[in-house]
Structure 1
Amino acid sequence: MKITSLLSTIGLAATLMASSAIAADVKWDMANEYQETSIHGQAQKVFTETAMEASGGSIEITNHFGGSIGYKSKEHFDAVADGALPIANTSMGQVAGIEPMFLLSSLPFLVGSADDAQLLWETARPAYEEVFARNNQILLYASPWPPAGVWAKKPITSKAELAGLKVRAWDASGTSTLINAGAAAIQMSWADVVPQLASGGIVGVLTSAEGGTNAKFWEHLSHFSALNYSMSLNMTHVNKDEWDTLSDDQRAALQTAAKAASDAAWGALASRVSENYADMEANGITVVKEVPAGFLAELSVAGEQVYADWLAKVGDAGQKILDDYRAAR
C-alpha cells in the first residue's frame, strides 16, 4: 500500500474541524535528516497529521525534512535527551557510538526480507525502549529502510571491483565491513553525501535504492548493485520531559499516530523497491539485481568482526536478541 494513499484518507472529523481555529496546546518541531519523499518522510507525515487529528487539534507538530532544522541524525539522540529537540526521526546506526544497541538493525546480512526485518524490530523493541528510557526519551515507532546496496559508477559484484573504492557508509557496521573487504570506506552523515559526490570526495555510497532515488544519485553515479546488506531502521523518539507534560489523552493520541505511521512505513516496503528501481532505470541507472553468491559470501566473512565487536559491547542482552530472532524465523 502506498503511503500517499494513506495520507489521502486522513482528514479531521467534523467535530474536530469545528475546533480547528483553536490554538494547539502543544507545538513541536520534528527533525528528520532525510527527504520528505523518503519512506521515513512519508510515514512521518502520517504521524504528524494523525497526531493532530487524534488529539482534537491539541498537538501540532511541524516537520523539518532534509536536515533543515540544523541537526544531523548523529546529533538527534543527545539533542532529544537534552530537550534541545522535542522529537526526532533518526537513522539509528548513526548514534550507535553513543548506544551500541542501535547498531543491531545494520548488522550485515542479518535479515533477508521485510518480514525478517520486522521480526528483528519486534524482538528487539523492549531493549530499544530500555535504552531510550535510560536517556530521558520515549520510543514511539520505527520505520525501515529498504535493502542496502552500493551506488557507484560501475557494478560492484566482486572484491576486485570494490577494492579501493571511496565509498560512504552510514555507520560503523558498513564502514568496517567494506574496509575489511578492501574498500576505502568512510562513515558520513547523509547531508554530506551529495556534496562529497559532487566534489569527487567519494565515488560510491552504501545505502538503499530508496536513499539514492530520493537524492537523485543518477546525477553523479550510474549503477546500483543490490547487495541486500541490511535493512536498517529509523526511529522516532520524544523527550521524556515533554512527554510527561502531556495529558493522558494526548499521549494516547501520539501512540495512535505512532501506530499509523509504523503501519504506513512497513506496509509501503513491499512496493517501494520496485518503484525505486523503475525511477532509477528511467533516469539511466543500471540496476544490478543479481549479485554473485560468492561475492556476498566474501562480504559476509568481512562482516564477521562487526558481530564480534558489537557483542563485546552489548553482551548477553545482544546475544539473547540474536538467539530469539533466529529461533522465531
Structure 2
Amino acid sequence: MMSRRSAGLLMVALIFTAAPAAAQTITWQMANEYPATSIHGEGDQFFARELSERSSGRIAITHSFDATLGYRSKDLLEAVARGAVPVADMYIGALGDIHPIFLLPSLPFLAVTPEQARILNEVARPEYERVLARHNQKLLYPSPWPPAGLWSRRPIAGMEALRGLRVRTADANATATLRAAGALPSQLSFADALPKIKSGAIDAVLSSGDGGAGQRLWENLRYFTAINYSMTMSMVTINLDVWNGLDTDLRLAVQGAARATSERQWKEIQTRIAYNYERMRANRVGIITEVTPGFTRALREAGQIAIEEWLIKVGPRGQETLDTYRKQISAR
C-alpha cells in the first residue's frame, strides 16, 4: 500500500510532468504568394506578433512568403480547406473560378479609394463568409491593396498604346477589361509572371506594385501609369477544423489579433500610396499620374464588359450587393 508521503510525491511528479505538455506552443505555417515587404506581408507579420502576445506565446506563426510552399493565391483556398496549411493570406481575385463573389473587389472602377474599398468590404463580407464556410474555413480579416495601375516598359498615354500590349492580369475582370481595350492579357499569378517579365514575354503588368512587389517590377518595367483601376483585396483565412480545435481563450486571442491587424491595414493604406510613389521616384520609375479624361472614359467603357459578365456569373445576389454598396456610397 502506498504511503501518504509517497502518494504526495507521485502527485507532484505528475503535475510537473504534465505542465510542459499543457504549455506547449501551437505552431501554424502561414502561406502568402507575395513578398514579406508587401503591405500584406507586413500585415501577416503584425498579425503573428499580436497573436503571440494575446495568446501569451501559446500560438506561434511561421511565415512562408513568395509562394515558397508552391501555393499561388488560386491554390490557397483549397489548401486551407484540406488543412495543407492552417492559415493563409490570399489575393481574393484569384479565387474567381471558385466563386464569382471573390471577383467583386476587382470590378473595374467600382471601388478606387480606401473609403470606397472599406464600404464594399463591409457590404460583401457576409457573402464571403458564406462561401468560405462551404470550403471549411473562416475569414479572419480582409486587407486592401493600393489602387492598381499599369507597369510597362514604355509610357502608356492612351488606348493606342494598349493595342497589342501583352499584359499580365491577376483576375478575370482585368482580363476581360484589357481584352476589350485591345490589349493581349494573360492571367498569371505574381510568382509565375516574374520570369516572363524578365524574359520579355510580357510587356506590362496591371498591379499596385506595392512594397517588394514593386521592387521586382521596376527592375524591368520602368513606367507606372496611375489609371486607378481598382482597390482589390486579399484575405486571411483559417481552417475550420483548426479553429474548432482551439480553446475559447485562444479563439478570443485569434479574433483580437485579426481585428487589430485589420485596423492596422486600413490605416496603413492611407499613406501607402504616397510612400510607394516616393520609392518609385527614388528608383527612377516614370510615374504618369495625369491620365487624360478620354483614356479614363475609354477604360471605363471597356470595364463595363467585365461588370456585365460578372453579373451573369454571380446571379441576382450580385446586383443586390452592388445596389447596397452604391446606396451606402451615395449616403456618405
Counterparts in 2 of 1:304 and 1:211: CA distance versus 1, 3 Å = farther
Instruction: Tell me the residue number matched to 2:91.
Output: 91
Question: Where does 1:19-38 land on structure 2 (aligned, <5 Å)?
Answer: 24-38=24-38
TM-aligned CA deviation for residue 313 of structure 1: 1.7
Counterparts in 2 of 1:268 and 1:20: CA distance versus 1, 3 Å = farther
Does the 8 Å contact 2:208/2:214 carry over to 1? no
Answering whether residue 110 of structure 2 is matched by residue 110 of structure 1, we say yes
AA aligned opposite 2:162:
L
TM-aligned CA deviation for residue 22 of structure 1: 8.4
Instruction: Tell me the residue number matched to 1:203.
Output: 203
CA distance in structure 1 between the aligned counterparts of 2:136 and 2:193, rounded to whole angstroms? 31
TM-aligned CA deviation for residue 68 of structure 1: 1.4
Instruction: Tell me the residue number matched to 1:42.
Output: 42
AA aligned opposite 2:92:
M
CA distance in structure 1 between the aligned counterparts of 2:289 and 2:20, rounded to whole angstroms? 49
Count of paired positions = 311
Q: Normalising by structure 2, what TM-score?
A: 0.90
TM-aligned CA deviation for residue 325 of structure 1: 0.6
Unaligned runs of 5+ residues in structure 2 are 1-18
Instruction: Tell me the residue number matched to 2:66.
Output: 66
Counterparts in 2 of 1:215 and 1:95: CA distance versus 1, 3 Å = farther
AA aligned opposite 2:205:
V
Answering whether residue 266 of structure 2 is matched by residue 269 of structure 1, we say no
TM-aligned CA deviation for residue 37 of structure 1: 0.6
CA distance in structure 2 between the aligned counterparts of 1:33 and 1:215, rounded to whole angstroms? 15
Answering whether residue 91 of structure 2 is matched by residue 100 of structure 1, we say no
Counterparts in 2 of 1:21 and 1:81: CA distance versus 1, 3 Å = closer
CA distance in structure 1 between the aligned counterparts of 2:214 and 2:272, rounded to whole angstroms? 12
CA distance in structure 2 between the aligned counterparts of 1:310 and 1:25, rounded to whole angstroms? 44
AA aligned opposite 1:32:
N
1:259-310 CA-to-partner distances (Å, cap 9, x unmatched) read 1111111101111111111111111111001111111111111111211111
What's the % identity of the aligned pairs?
A: 46
AA aligned opposite 2:103:
L
AA aligned opposite 2:130:
E
CA distance in structure 1 between the aligned counterparts of 2:56 and 2:46, rounded to whole angstroms? 16
Answering whether residue 145 of structure 2 is matched by residue 145 of structure 1, we say yes
CA distance in structure 2 between the aligned counterparts of 1:278 and 1:175, rounded to whole angstroms? 29
Question: Where does 1:275-294 land on structure 2 (aligned, <5 Å)?
Answer: 275-294=275-294
Does the 8 Å contact 1:28/1:60 carry over to 2? yes
CA distance in structure 1 between the aligned counterparts of 2:312 and 2:29, rounded to whole angstroms? 37
Counterparts in 2 of 1:231 and 1:182: CA distance versus 1, 3 Å = same
Task: For residue 157 of structure 1, give the secondary structure of its aligned residue in structure 2.
Answer: coil
TM-aligned CA deviation for residue 24 of structure 1: 3.9
CA distance in structure 2 between the aligned counterparts of 1:202 and 1:23, rounded to whole angstroms? 51
TM-aligned CA deviation for residue 153 of structure 1: 1.4
CA distance in structure 2 between the aligned counterparts of 1:102 and 1:88, rounded to whole angstroms? 16
Instruction: Tell me the residue number matched to 1:255.
Output: 255
Does the 8 Å contact 2:35/2:213 carry over to 1? no
TM-aligned CA deviation for residue 41 of structure 1: 0.7
Counterparts in 2 of 1:35 and 1:213: CA distance versus 1, 3 Å = closer
Does the 8 Å contact 1:148/1:228 carry over to 2? yes
Does the 8 Å contact 1:148/1:229 carry over to 2? yes
Question: Where does 1:157-176 land on structure 2 (aligned, <5 Å)?
Answer: 157-176=157-176
Does the 8 Å contact 1:92/1:233 carry over to 2? yes
TM-aligned CA deviation for residue 93 of structure 1: 0.4
TM-aligned CA deviation for residue 211 of structure 1: 5.8
- Work out which of the two has the higher radius of gyration on C-alpha atoms and give 1 or 2: 2
Unaligned runs of 5+ residues in structure 1 are 1-18
Does the 8 Å contact 1:146/1:210 carry over to 2? yes
Q: Normalising by structure 1, what TM-score?
A: 0.91
What's the Cα RMSD here? 1.7
Instruction: Tell me the residue number matched to 1:236.
Output: 236
Does the 8 Å contact 1:37/1:214 carry over to 2? no
TM-aligned CA deviation for residue 21 of structure 1: 12
Task: For residue 205 of structure 1, give the secondary structure of its aligned residue in structure 2.
Answer: strand
Instruction: Tell me the residue number matched to 2:51.
Output: 51
AA aligned opposite 1:115:
E
Task: For residue 324 of structure 2, give the secondary structure of its aligned residue in structure 1.
Answer: helix
CA distance in structure 2 between the aligned counterparts of 1:24 and 1:289, rounded to whole angstroms? 53
CA distance in structure 2 between the aligned counterparts of 1:108 and 1:75, rounded to whole angstroms? 24
Task: For residue 290 of structure 2, give the secondary structure of its aligned residue in structure 1.
Answer: coil
Does the 8 Å contact 1:108/1:303 carry over to 2? yes
